[in-house]
Structure formats: structure tokens, C-alpha cells
A and B are shown apart, each in its own frame.
Chain A
Amino acid sequence: MVSRREFLQATSAAAAISVAAGLGPLGRAAAQQRLSQADILRFEPTGTVTILHVTDIHAQLMPLHFREPSINLGVGAAKGQPPHLVDAEFRAHFKVAAGSADAFALTSDDFVSLAKTYGKMGGMDRVATLVKAVRAERGDDKVLLLDGGDTWQGSWSSLQSKAQDMVDVMSALKTDAMVGHWEFTLGADRVKEIADSASFAFLAQNIRDTEWNEPVFAPRKVFEKGGVKVAVIGQALPRTAIANPRWMFPAWEFGIREEEIQKQVDEARAEGAAVVVLLSHDGFDVDRKLATRVKGLDVILTAHTHDAMPGLVRVGETVLVGSGSHGKFVSRLDIATSGGKVSDIRFKLMPVFSDAIAPDAEMAALIAKVRAPYAADLSREIGRTESLLYRRGNFNGSFDDLICDAMLSQRDAEIALSPGFRWGGTLLPGDAITWEAITNATAITYPNCYRNEMTGAQLKEILEDVADNIFHPDPYFQGGGDMVRIGGMGYAIDIGKPMGSRISGLTHLKSGQPIEAAKKYVVAGWASVNEGTQGPPIWDVVRNHVAATKTVTIKPNDAVKVTGA
């Protein structure tokens, strides 16, 4: 396991140079001298099987900035455990040097200055370079490329093309298998159409039709790699029908179905699989619990909660991998077997630094082609930001503050509710706010921005319900995502309390008055899971607000008081 350490040594030397040289072009150039494609790819191989894992790309074809969370609280058994570590604690746990390339990729503090040093991350043409290089090194017959899902949603081009752009790119990448979550918000018919015709397998052991309880997708597929049988079991987000509009796939039901996973494992072993992998979209904490209850899984490739970790988490005989999101990372696992069982696993989280990795020409051409119909719209500048605009964090994000401000002003509302999505790019101070940037944070198939009246009691009930979805001490009751973002209202939350008593101190920020339980307030929001929601699409609301504001400034948000962490 020397590979990651070698990378760290190389990049921390680079960081020292860049810090000594100061920030700006000189520092960046100096950093790149040492931060090479070869450093990122360097790996001490083992065995005859290599698994590459990408996940939660959220349709990001181009390099971008994505700031990791500064608040990511764990509850119950997960409290203080990875991935619920941020900044200095994260760096201490994973032995990442402050100011290093890994620190920029994996933590949030000092993001703006490090972004200038290390540049954007991701880009599917860079991902293609890494994937091809590993295939060339190991041989096609040894490499399995697995996609953890949330691949087809999150950009204007994927929304407009009904994910055809991503399907074309992931096919060209020679993906072997994928699983889904946001994919299902394209509607059952479109997902089936793609799954039935794509060059990769679409796996999901836990989706059944509601009438007969029969599997909708293949539950698993066995691949022969390097003379070893590798079984891949698909696990879609168990809470898709709750987290997203069920009316878009009304004949499907989900759930964790751990007994059924156990059956899949046992059947795969009986068929001679030496390696059994769960390609999961459960979310990290759900998978950590699942690993204690399902026996015989060698690897769980986690997704959904967007955790990037430069080390494996071991639970019994199972290792858990967190490969991050937005194309920022490609995970590589080399697996050796003996006597039909796993004997060694080596792992590296390869960071996709777009300035250090040469784009793959074929993939770059394909990306340009699939984006061409929308290119003029995407590059259109609507305004600029003076503030860092980001999404991640348990309670708020400055990009969400912008969306809430837009709803308050454009929909003439007292209170705005914006969902706690974990996807969407980050903009640096001074960046243009383009149509692409707005739609990267809003592109969904149920975008209508409603305007309604809600009582104070209803608002509290919503906050309690969402909080329980994140902070229930049993991960099987968690659905992923972060707290709903609020504009115009503050509150206090004690995350250690049970459902119904976490939320208090609801305050109408403009007047400074307490929110009254029986009083009605005008509320705007978007991403309702209910069919037939009325209102303009949220991207138009945000565009109109940004166009009117011209230069956006977001004040630090202290409207949520957190205790019990």
C-alpha cells in the first residue's frame, strides 16, 4: 500500500513549493511540475482483478470546482467516524498534509486559495485518460469499470437530452455495470429503454414491481476477469420512492432487502464467484450497517452520500470504498485471490486534477459533440458572484442561499424552502454565473417553483421530518441528502434528540418575531415530490434574480443554531 503515500509525498513537496512561491500563476505552475499524471496513476499492482469505481458524477462532463463539506455530522454509531470528519480532523485521520493537493480535493477550508493553486477537478475526458491508462497497464481482460449511479442527472445537457449525453459517454468509457437513483427521475419508461439497450448492465436487486413483486432489473452479473469470477450485485437507493417523485415510477418499489442481498451473495458463491462486490447506492452509513448483517461481501462500493475517502473502511471481512462525486475521483482496487477467496486488496483514490491529466482526445471530441446543441446557452453569462458559492454542508450552503434569495424576491415569499441536495458545482469569488452554473445546481425533471401558504406548525413538521431523515440514529431510517435549506427563517436544532423534539426557536428573520404555529406564511419552494406542482422552473427564478442583481454577494448564514453534535 505504498501508492497513496508516494502520491502524498510528491504532492506535499509540490505544495511546499507553491506556498513558498505564493499563490497565483507561479505557484500553480510549480505545483504542476510535480503533480503529474504519472503520480496520480502510480500503483503497486497485485492479483489479476482491477476494479475501477466512479460514482455520483451528476452528469458533469467538464472539469469543475466542487467544495467538500465543512459540516458533515454523524449520529449513533457513525458519530465522529469517517466519513463524518471534515477539515483538520479529516486530514489528521487520513494523514493528508494541509495545503496539499489531497487537502484541496478532500477538505473545504482554504478552498478558494487552494483552488487557484490546483485548478479544477473532474472532466470525463480526464477520467477516460485514467481508465484507459489502467486498462493499458493491466490488460482489458483484468479491468472492471463500475458506475455507482447518479450519473444521468445534474446538468442542462443531460436534462435536455434525457441522459443520452451521459449514456453515450459512459458507453464510450466501456462501463461494465451501473446502478441507479436519480436515473429513475427520468421516468420508468426511459430508464427501461436505456437499460434494455445500453452496452453496460443496469443492475438493481432491490427494485420490484408493485403488483407481482418481481425484479424489474437484473440483480447481479458475473464477470470473468483475470481468470477470476467477480460477481457484482446492484443496489439502487432504497429510499428513491420517498426521496424523489414516486409518480415517475409508480409501479416500482425499493427498500433495502438485506435478506435478498444475502441470497444473491450465496447464489454467486455457489456459482464459483471468488470476489463478491455490492455496487451500492445505499449511502455510506447504511452500507456500514449492512456490512455487519450481510455475510460474504468482499467489497461495498458506496455512493449517494458523496463521501470521498483516501482509505478503505473495514467492517469485518468487508471493505467499504467512498469514491466521492462529480468526477473528482476514480477509485482503483487491485484484488488478489487464492483458493477461490480474496487474499489481498490494494486501493487508491485517484484524484482527477484536470490540469495535471491530459484529456483523452476521443472522449473530448465526444463530449464536445454531445454538448454542442446546448453550448451557446451554457456559456451565457447571467451575472457574477463576489462570494464563494457552494452546496455541501448539513444545514446550508451559499449556493442554496442564492436560490432561496431568488425565490424570496422573484416569488414574493416570506419564507423559501430549497432541498438539501448534495450535487451542483462550486463557484469562486469573481466567477461568472453562467446558465451552465445555474442549471448545474437545479437541473431536475420536477423543477416547478411553487408559492403557497403554510402554517408555522406545518413548517416545524417539515423540519422535524427532514431532520429525522438525516439524524435518525439508525442509518436504515436515513435517506441521504442534507437539511432543507431555509430562506427568511431561522431555527435551532438539537440533532441528538428524537423526532418531534429536535427543532425549536423558529424565527421570522425579517421581523425578528417568533414563527407562530397557527399563523400562515407565504412560502416558495421547489423540487416538490407531488405530481402537478405549479410554478415556473427554478432555473428561470434563479436566472431572473441573478440578472436583476448582476453581482451576487452572499452574507455568512448563521440562521441555524446547531447543538447535540
Chain B
Amino acid sequence: MPLRSNGLTRRSTITAGAMAAFASLLGARMAFADEKAVMAEIRKLYGDKALAEGRIRLDIPEIAENGLVVPVNIEVESPMTEADHVKAVHIFADGNPQPGIVSYSFTPACGKASAATRMRLAQTQNIVCVAEMSNGSLHMAKANVKVTIGGCGG
């Protein structure tokens, strides 16, 4: 769990604070990325190349159980041969202070293009996954993750 050791987290700060029943989602106002910031990051890497749908399986919970360590699994359909393989996969978030989450590089020797990690999400937001193929084409997938204050379950 690479993202757990974040020292004094936002959530624990709030938990210790005044709102015992329901933690505020945003606490102190800080600057967050947005959809534009994510697109700007993608342009930095790949210019204005077209982003096709499909081939990416982005497995992520609809609702985060713990915003500090949200699991994400990606798998990109590919034969992973010299001629046809996935070169790179990037994951972005449009509601965190910084849009970049993680980048993976693949070679045909990987056998398959899949990876799993956990990420911290500050609030409800979209996760964007971009895969770069060996022929230079790009694929994109997007999923919304809800980060909620919780409680009150029946």
C-alpha cells in the first residue's frame, strides 16, 4: 500500500477536529486540478493525438471505502508482441491537487499489460487512464469515483 504513509492526513485531521459525526469533505479550501488540467497533462505527453475508446479495463470502486487508499486495477487488451504491444499506461485524477497519479512502462516481455495500485483521492472525481500502443495510437478510459462522508447506513 504505497500511499498509506502520508503522515497527518486530511481525514485524520478532520476526525480529530470538531465534526465528530460527519467529516467535511473539503476541509480548508485548496487548489484542485480539473478536467482541463488532466487534458493538459495528456497533451504534454502526446500532443493532440486522438484518444480512442475501448481496450482498457479500468477497475475501480464506484464509491471509495477509504479515500486515502482507493484501489485501482488496469488491464489493456493486447497480444504484447514486438509488433503490437502496450508501451505505457498513465493514470490521472481530475480532483486532486495534482492530476498525475502513476505512469507504467511495458515491454513485450511483460506478457500482459496490467497493473494495480492504490491512490489517495481528496474528493469525488474522475479517474482517467491513457494507454499508448506500440504503433503510436492512444486509448482512453474514464471512471467516476465517489468519496463520501459516510455514516447513517440502514
**Residue ranges of A at the interface with B (Cβ–Cβ < 8 Å):** 181, 210-211, 213, 237, 239-244, 246, 253-256, 259, 304-306, 417, 419-423, 450, 452-454, 458, 461-462, 465-466, 468-469, 474, 476-477, 479-482, 484, 499, 523, 525-534
Contact = CB atoms under 8 A, between A and B. Distances in A.
A38 to B, nearest CB: 35
A452 B19 contact: yes
A242 B65 contact: yes
Contact of B153 (A244, A256, A454, A525): A244
Interface stretch (B22-30, B37-45, B76-84, B93-101): B22-30
Contact of A466 (B23, B59, B65, B152): B152
Nearest to A458: B24
Contact of B23 (A181, A210, A530): A530
B146 A422 contact: no
B20 A534 contact: yes
Contacts of B24: 458, 461
Interface residues of B, number: 27
Given A211-B1, A450-B21, A304 B65 contact: no
A480 B62 contact: no
B69 interface: yes
B18 A454 contact: yes
Given A242-B150, A243-B154, A458-B22, 5 more contacts: A242-B148, A255-B61, A461-B149, A482-B154, A530-B20
Nearest to B151: A529
Given A241-B65, A254-B65, A420 B15 contact: no
B66 interface: yes
Given A253-B65, A462-B149, A452 B21 contact: yes
Nearest to A181: B153
A347 to B, nearest CB: 24
Contact of A246 (B62, B65, B152): B65
Contact of A484 (B15, B148, B152): B152
Contacts of B71: 213, 253
Contacts of A421: 152-154
Interface string B1-37: 1000000000000010011111111000000000000
B102 interface: no
A420 B1 contact: no
Given A210-B1, A239-B63, A255-B65, A450 B20 contact: yes
A484 B152 CA distance: 7
Given A242-B65, A254-B65, A423 B153 contact: no
Contact of B21 (A243, A255, A417, A532): A417
A331 B111 CA distance: 50
A97 B20 CA distance: 47
A419 B1 contact: no
- Which of A453, A469, A525 counts the most chain B CB atoms within 10 A? A469
* Across the A-B interface, the 6 shortest Cβ-Cβ residue pairs: A243-B153, A481-B154, A241-B65, A422-B154, A450-B20, A419-B152
Given A241-B65, A254-B65, A256-B62, A480 B154 contact: yes
B148 to A, nearest CB: 6
A498 B18 CA distance: 28
18 contacts: A213-B71, A242-B148, A253-B66, A253-B71, A421-B152, A421-B154, A452-B19, A452-B20, A454-B18, A465-B25, A465-B149, A469-B148, A476-B62, A481-B153, A523-B21, A528-B151, A530-B21, A530-B23
Contacts of A306: 154
Contacts of A476: 62
B6 to A, nearest CB: 16
B154 A465 contact: no
B21 A242 contact: no
B65 A454 contact: no
A465 B63 contact: no
- Which of A527, A528, A530 counts the most chain B CB atoms within 10 A? A530
Contacts of B65: 239, 241-242, 246, 253-255
